[in-house]
Amino acid sequence: MSRDPAALVWFRRDLRDFDHAALSHALQAHRRVYCAFVFDTAILAQLPSRQDRRLVFLLASLRELDAALRARGGGLIVRHGDAREEIPRLAEALKVVTVFANHDYEPAAIARDATVAATLRAQGIVWRSFKDQVIFERRELLTQGGQPFGVFTPYARAWLARLQPRDTGEWPVAPFAAHLASPPDGTGLPTLAQLGFADADLRLPAGMAGGDTLWTDFRERLPLYERTRDFPAVKGVSYLSAHLRFGTVSVRQLARHAHACANAGAATWLKELIWREFYQQLLANHPRLEREAFRPGLDALEWETGPAADAAFAAWCEGRTGYPLVDAAQRQLVQSGYMHNRLRMVSASFLSKDLGIDWRRGEAFFARWLLDFDLAANNGGWQWAASTGCDAQPWFRIFNPVTQSQRFDPQGRFIRRYVPELAALPERALHAPWKLRPTDQQAAGCVIGRDYPAPIVDHAEARARTLARFGRRGTPDD
């Protein structure tokens, strides 16, 4: 049977109907283009809870994408199963000649796509994949020695020097939308219950509309970003990380705007987008980082283990460390699925440097709760904080949770929001409440050790243990 020159676009981390590389290429090359998404059981089975905000965000974003594609004459074909089997099966059923997708850089995704491409090839179907979620990928930027960058600053310089208007140009969809094909009947979106999940509280607007709302709001605040980004009680950041993760916004649009703005805020935010790509290329070129330290010798570090370490880890997870800023950060994460970037550094440093617990345990906890979870960024951030990664903070640089609190939440607004048992304490005592006199604790209705835990570790002593763990002497911390 001859094939109609039709194509299939497989959506993954690119849930939008505009500025979409794979969709644009497919529409320009084929007269009929189907669109599909797979709820991949290989991914869903790994989620530790049947209540996950990411599924809620994903479903809401897919509903909007499906409606947008239908308004253009197409729509989403949705499957629930192993993507390695579902995509070839669907491509064969639709009798398409080519399957289009955008690159994914995680080790499991690279292996999955290789399997899908091989199966399609055996079926006589072409696999085509494109760069879409980053400006520069994999080995596009190399050192003078021809190797992937392992240090951020020279990578950022190379990134900015290489950038040309074509790198942030839009991949057009609307002019070719007439080639979209309507999905067959019975291919609509499932409910959470049909996927085996329950509803979860989602506080972030989802989908393309949600991303656009946040981006429009942030553009007005972008000039102030450099001055406001480190203060969790201030509306200083973009809140676009989950939208970048799921591709409901276009990174090209964001980078194009930031690069064109002649102000310090935009330049600083663009550097954050470059950090994101630095970690993406790092993981793509060194897939072992998923479980190993970037510096191989540091896998031999002796982390704290045993019942005491497990109890400390549980206290950290639950926001019961006795350090208000750390506890507020942990509670924000569990309650909302979000943690401010400054607090991610503070929290990760506390677990790995104050408690001496393996960074991989903290990385897994963040992976469980973060709405914007991205393996490359999460892994890179944790290894940076633990001083096991490339371009890591110096091993002797250990975040002091009290001075960080005083510096970045000086009035305690963030702490009072997430640690309400401390709300009545005077501002001067909020960052180290155990130092408040017992009579003053009683007067404030918060007795340390009863209403709020005493510190589970002494920072100065913990710092000394970390220096010993790394086998060197240090300099004063922050």
Q: Is 442 domain-assigned?
A: yes
Confirm whether 303 is a catalytic residue: yes
Predicted local distance difference test score (pLDDT) of residue 471? 83
- What is the spatial distance between Cα 213 and Cα 469, in angstroms, rounded to a whole number? 47
3-state secondary structure 165-219: HHHHCCCCCHHHHHHECCCCCCCCCCCHHHHCCECCCCCCCCHHHHHHHHHHHHH
In a domain, 197, yes or no: no
359 catalytic? Reply is yes
- For the question of residue 263 being annotated catalytic, the response is no
User: How many C-beta atoms surround the C-beta of residue 300 within 10 A?
Assistant: 7
Which helix (H) or strand (E) segment holds residue 141: the answer is: none
Residues 141 and 104 both lie in one domain: no
pLDDT at 476: 45
- Residue 252 belongs to some domain of the structure: yes
The answer to whether residues 51 and 141 belong to one domain is no
**pLDDT at res. 324:** 98
In a domain, residue 383? The reply is yes
Amino acid at 252: R
CB neighbours of 81 closer than 8 A, spacing ≥ 6? Answer: 38, 39, 40, 41
pLDDT in tens, 261-270: 989 999 999 9
Determine, yes or no, domain membership for 182.
no
Indicate whether 246 and 138 sit together in one domain.
yes
> Residue 277: its pLDDT value, please?
98
What mean pLDDT comes out for the span 333-360? 98
Per-residue pLDDT of 131-142, as tens digits, reads 999 999 999 999
- 275: annotated active-site residue: yes
* Among candidate residues 285, 306, 337, the one where a domain is terminated: 285
Which candidate in 275, 369, 384, 395 is catalytic? 275
Residue 198 lies in a domain: no
Examine the domain organization and report whether 464 and 391 are in the same domain.
Answer: yes
Task: Choose the catalytic residue: 85, 303, 304, 434.
Answer: 303
| Same domain assignment for residues 159 and 107 | no
The percent of residues above 90 in pLDDT, for the chain, comes to: 93
**Final residue in a domain of this structure, among 84, 103, 132:** 132
pLDDT tens figures, 76-90: 999 999 999 999 999
Q: What's residue 390's pLDDT?
A: 83
Q: What is the DSSP string of 395-441?
A: TT----HHHHHHHHSTT-HHHHHH-GGGTTS-GGGSSSGGGS-HHHH
SS3 content of the chain, % helix, strand, coil (to 5): 55, 10, 40
Give the residue from 241, 138, 203, 174 showing the smallest Cα distance to 16: 174
Check residue 474 and give its pLDDT: 43
Q: Tens of pLDDT along 363-403?
A: 999 999 999 999 999 999 999 999 999 865 677 789 999 99
Do residue 164 and residue 55 come from a single domain?
no
**Structural domain that includes position 16:** 6-132
Query: At 146, which CATH number?
Result: 1.25.40.80
pLDDT in tens, 184-238: 987 789 999 999 999 999 999 999 999 999 999 999 999 999 999 999 999 999 9
113 & 144 share domain: no
pLDDT surpasses 80 at 3: no
Q: What is the CA radius of gyration of the chain?
A: 24
Extract long-range pairs of 139-147: CB within 8 Å, 24+ residues apart.
139/281, 139/285, 140/281, 141/281
Task: Specify the number of domains making up the chain.
Answer: 3
List 359, 369, 384, 395, catalytic entry = 359
Residue 215 falls in the annotated catalytic set: no
Asked if residue 314 is part of any domain, the answer here is yes
Confidence of residue 475 (pLDDT cuts 50, 70, 90): very low
Say if pTM beats, i.e. exceeds, 0.85: yes
Is the domain of 352 the same as that of 420?
yes
> Residue 444's domain is classified under what CATH number?
1.10.579.10
The domain boundary, picked from 285, 311, 331, lies at 285
Catalytic annotation, pick one of 127, 215, 369, 382: 382
Please indicate, yes or no, whether residues 454 and 321 belong to a single structural domain of this protein.
Answer: yes
Domain of residue 114, CATH code: 3.40.50.620
What pLDDT is stored for residue 442 in this prediction? 95
For residues 29 and 7, the answer to whether their CB atoms sit within 8 Å is: yes
* Residue 319: pLDDT over 50: yes
Torsion over CA of 422, 428, 431 and 434, rounded to 10 degrees?
-70
Instruction: Judge whether 478 and 397 are in contact, CB under 8 Å.
Output: yes
Q: Taking the mean position of all CA atoms in its chain, how far away is CA 116?
A: 25
CA distances from 365 to 205, 232, 344, 403 (A): 24, 20, 12, 25
For residue 307, is it within any domain? yes
272 is annotated as an active-site residue: yes
Q: In this structure, are 307 and 251 located in the same domain?
A: no
For residue 240, the one-letter residue type is L
Using one digit for the tens of pLDDT, what is the confidence trace for 5-33? 899 999 999 999 999 999 999 999 999 99
pLDDT surpassing 90 at residue 314: yes
Q: What is the pLDDT confidence band of residue 420, given thresholds at 50, 70 and 90?
A: very high
Same-domain check for residues 355 and 420: yes
Amino acid at 211: G
Q: Are residues 378 and 303 in the same domain?
A: yes
- Averaged pLDDT for residues 289-311: 93
Share of the chain above pLDDT 70, in %: 97
3-class state of residue 378 by DSSP: helix
Catalytic site residue from 85, 92, 272, 292: 272
